[in-house]
Structure 1
Amino acid sequence: MSDDNKDTSGAEQPHEGEGTPKRVIGTPSPATGKALVSADEAPAPAADTADELDEKSAKKAERIVATLFLVAFAASVVFIAYYIGWSGRDGGMHGVSRTRESNLWFGGMMTLAFMAMAIGVTIWVRRLMTSKPIIQERHDLQTDEATREAFNQDFLEGAADSGITKRPLLRRTLLLAAAPLGLAPIFLLGDLGPLPKKRLRHTYWGEAVKKAKAEGKKGVRLVVDGTNRPLRVSDFATPGGMITVLPEGVEETEEALNQIAKSVTILINVPADEFKPKKGRENWHINGVVAYSKICTHVGCPAALYEQTTHHILCPCHQSTFDATDAARVVFGPAARPLPQLPLSVEDGYIIATDDYDEPIGPSFWERGKTS
């Protein structure tokens, strides 16, 4: 190799155009000891700017933050007031017809409260607090007296730095805004109750039957859900059919919507030769035409599917299966008891219900005891 490619120290130099030479394994990196920014060019730690705040600008920011806290307080109060006050009119906020209105009020007020609080705290931190650096050192878990005293000192300094002790207006409005926000979830617990108690033991069928009998009739006529057309026996004479029915006379009111939800019933035409009426219910059907509650006894989903070949009623939520030929006995799934049955009869050619369900409708976990 030519001596032109070596320096005076004897190290081989790369030829021109050969690129950067590769570092031999074991030699120190040429970047060792180098830094992107020199110590002289590195930025100095942020200084304590507590005394550098423009008090005029700080006062303006303080008023803005206080206003936002007051807005959060007002929104929280409106949320609570609407829940316990305004929502009580026209049947209450829990009805189907007022769901959209209540969602707008509750969601809007809670959003406004949290947004005003968040913006206020952000302005507080950015405009009224200093940028003094805080250094946290790691030590053993057990702290000594000196460390605790140092923590107390840092805490007091941090409180003073935040301005919460110096600016009572911010402190008071912050506490005012936070108080109703903490209370609001407590009021939402009202949506968990009240418990149904005995209300599920009776439906609108019972009231409608009593009203019909007071008028000299044997019972209340069944009407087709959606059309409110009374149902004749001849209209439902083909085996294998299923239809949803309601008691005649249900009015389109807020209370009626709740009654419909409990009274919805499925009418099924089971072949008479395959029907096995339960003891004591021999007269509850009309040549195999039988009525069961549409509310599944598992968790209350609508049991709205029917298999004509097996005569099974299916609940699509959790696959509970009931035998329509055997008093809606549970044959599969998590349901704990059969669907309640509605006693039927015929009057003037129309299918009628002669009484209410003999047991509570809906999920079994509501407890079926008479003392509940």
Structure 2
Amino acid sequence: MSDDEIVVHDPHDKPATYVEADGLDRFENPGLPPHRPRRADLDEGAAKRAERQVTTMFGLSMLGALGFIVAYLFVDPNLRGEILLIGEMNLYHLILGLTMAVSLLGIGFGAVHWAKTLMPDTEVVEERHLQASDQAARDDAAGVLSDGYRGAQLHRRPMLLLTAGGALSLFALPMALQVAGGLDPNIWRDPSPAEMLSRTVWKKGMRLVIDPSGTPIRASDLTQGSVIHVMPEGYAGAHTEDGPSDQEIMTAKATSSVLLVKMNPEDIKSAKQRDWGVDGIVAYSKICTHVGCPVALYERQTHHLLCPCHQSTFDMTNDCEVIFGPAKRPLPQLRITVEDGYLVAADGFAEPVGPSFWERG
């Protein structure tokens, strides 16, 4: 055969590894590769170093879990700071993320290093058998588990088991805290979730201001049919040096937004609604009692308030009772009065605002 000749192989030719048996083509069993012992298998000093490395990783995991719990309970959730190449961010969330990462990575790296250096690494082939096992097979299985326990050197190195158990146990605590309280530790600092959810920033004497300009509202300036979106004084507009933080303003907008409407007092059917207003001027929470959407669509002719999310409709002539949609309770009313000609809150909300929760009285 010359160098220029091209040899074409039949694609149906059997590889050399095929053998004929019972009329079927089968691959020959290649067997297992020869076992190559690791340094820790031959040198007790190397095994000790590996043990120390694994226990150190598990120990770091435990420290990370404890750090998460301490930060969750004692660090200010509004703590902010400048981070190189990132800029300003919430340091509370950064600390939680880093401590959680240390806890999780410590477990993962420790388990992998334990498996690669100390646990048995020989390949084992087990033939498939019937699902039901006799007593002898069960005894064999128990023996395999026992051999695995010894093969992992748990009987010789109890610190591995102790630190692994400690890391896994402590890592479950941050998970339990997040399931129980989310990422807001205030749930553990307040008497109850109901009391915490009942609070807004409204207090007696706070002036009602236009959102977002922050302009105080004179009762005499309002005309029939006026509709104004208002906030407590100090929480409208942008953050100032001596005012609430951006986070506090955002929280106030989510809980303390109010809709102010000037109505004809003769159209108001509820005595309590008239008493809590000023000459037909009434203030109601904008937070829908269904799932918390902003209720802001006012029909002047019917005096109906509509929620744009799920079409819950509230009757403003009768204490904002629900007349249509999935909401189950009226919108809470903010009691207002007049001081020096300006509208102010006579008190905070008398009931929780926003959607339902099971602790609501």
Common fold by TM > 0.5: yes
Q: Is the 8 A contact 1:240 1:308 kept in 2?
A: no
- Number of corresponding residues: 327
| Distance in 2 (alpha carbons) for counterparts of 1:118 and 1:145 | 36
Say yes or no: does 1:79 pair with 2:68.
Answer: yes
- Following TM superposition, by how much is the alpha carbon of 1:325 offset from its aligned partner in structure 2, in angstroms? 4.0
CA contact 2:201–2:232 (8 Å) conserved in 1: no
Q: Which residue of 2 aligns with 1:13?
A: none
Q: For residues 178-327 of structure 1, what are the structure 2 equivalents within 5 Å?
A: 178-191=168-181, 193=187, 195-197=192-194, 205=202, 207-209=203-205, 221-237=207-223, 239-246=225-232, 252=243, 262-270=255-263, 272=264, 275-286=267-278, 288-306=280-298, 311-327=303-319
Asked whether the equivalents of residues 296 and 315 of structure 1 are also in contact (C-alpha less than 8 Å), the reply is yes
Normalized per residue, the structure richer in strand is 2
Between stretches 322-331 and 110-119, larger displacement belongs to 322-331
Q: Is the 8 A contact 1:345 1:354 kept in 2?
A: yes
Amino acid at match of 2:260: L
- The normalised TM-score by structure 1 is 0.70
Residue 175 of structure 1 aligns to which amino acid in structure 2? G
Q: How far apart, in 2, do the equivalents of 1:158 and 1:291 lie?
A: 71
Alignment of 1:26-175 (within 5 A): 31=14, 35=18, 39=28, 42-47=30-35, 49=37, 53-55=41-43, 56-84=45-73, 86-87=74-75, 92-93=76-77, 100-175=90-165
SS at the partner of 1:245?
strand
Structure 1 CA distance for aligned equivalents of residues 93 and 153 of structure 2: 38
- Give distance in 1, aligned partners of 2:199 and 2:269: 23
- Unpaired runs of 5+ residues, structure 1, are 1-18, 23-28, 210-219
**How far apart, CA to CA, are the structure 2 residues paired with 1:136 and 1:81?**
48
Q: Which amino acid aligns with 2:164?
A: L
Q: 1:297 to 1:344 in 2, by over 3 A?
A: same
Aligned-residue CA RMSD in angstroms?
4.2
Between 1:194-203 and 1:345-354, the stretch displaced more is 194-203
Verify the 8 A CA contact 2:40 2:47 in the aligned structure 1: no
SS of 2:18's equivalent? coil
- In structure 1, what residue type is equivalent to 2:32? A
- Counterpart amino acid of residue 183 in structure 1: L
**3-state DSSP of counterpart to 2:65:** helix
- Structure 2 regions of 5+ residues with no counterpart? 1-7, 20-25, 82-88, 237-241
The answer (yes or no) to whether the contact 2:315–2:323 under 8 Å persists in 1 is yes
Partner Cα distance (2:163, 2:53) in 1: 11
Q: Give the distance between the partners of 2:204 and 2:275, measured in 1 at CA.
A: 20
CA distances 1:302-345 after superposition (whole Å, capped 9, x unpaired):
33444556654343454433233443222332210110122344
- Retained in 2: the 8 A contact 1:291–1:343? yes
Tell me whether 332-341 or 317-326 shows the greater mean CA deviation: 317-326
Q: Note closer, same or farther for the CA distance 1:20–1:259 as it changes in structure 2 (3 Å cut).
A: closer
Q: In structure 2, do the counterparts of structure 1 residues 318 and 134 end up closer, same or farther at CA, with 3 Å as the change threshold?
A: farther
Pair 112,244 (structure 1): closer, same or farther in 2 beyond 3 Å: same
Does the 8 A contact of 2:193 with 2:359 survive in 1?
no
Per the alignment, residue 356 of structure 2 pairs with 364
Q: Which residue of 2 is the match for residue 25 of structure 1? A: none
Q: Helix, strand or coil for the counterpart of 2:344?
A: strand
Going from structure 1 to structure 2, the CA distance change for 1:249 and 1:154 (only over 3 Å counts) comes to: closer
SS of match in other structure, 2:90? helix
Using structure 2 for the length normalisation, give the TM-score. Answer: 0.72
What amino acid is aligned across from residue 18 of structure 2 in structure 1? A
Distance 1:305 1:253, change over 3 A: same
The 2-side partners of 1:365 and 1:307 are apart by 29
* Distance in 2 separating the partners of 1:248 and 1:132: 70
**Higher helix share goes to which structure?**
1
Residues in 2 aligned to 1:112 and 1:247: alpha-carbon distance in whole angstroms: 43
Greater shift after overlay, 166-175 or 50-59?
50-59
The answer to whether structure 1 residue 337 and structure 2 residue 337 are counterparts is: no
- The structure with more radius of gyration: 1
1:57–1:367: structure 2 CA closer, same or farther, 3 Å change rule?
closer
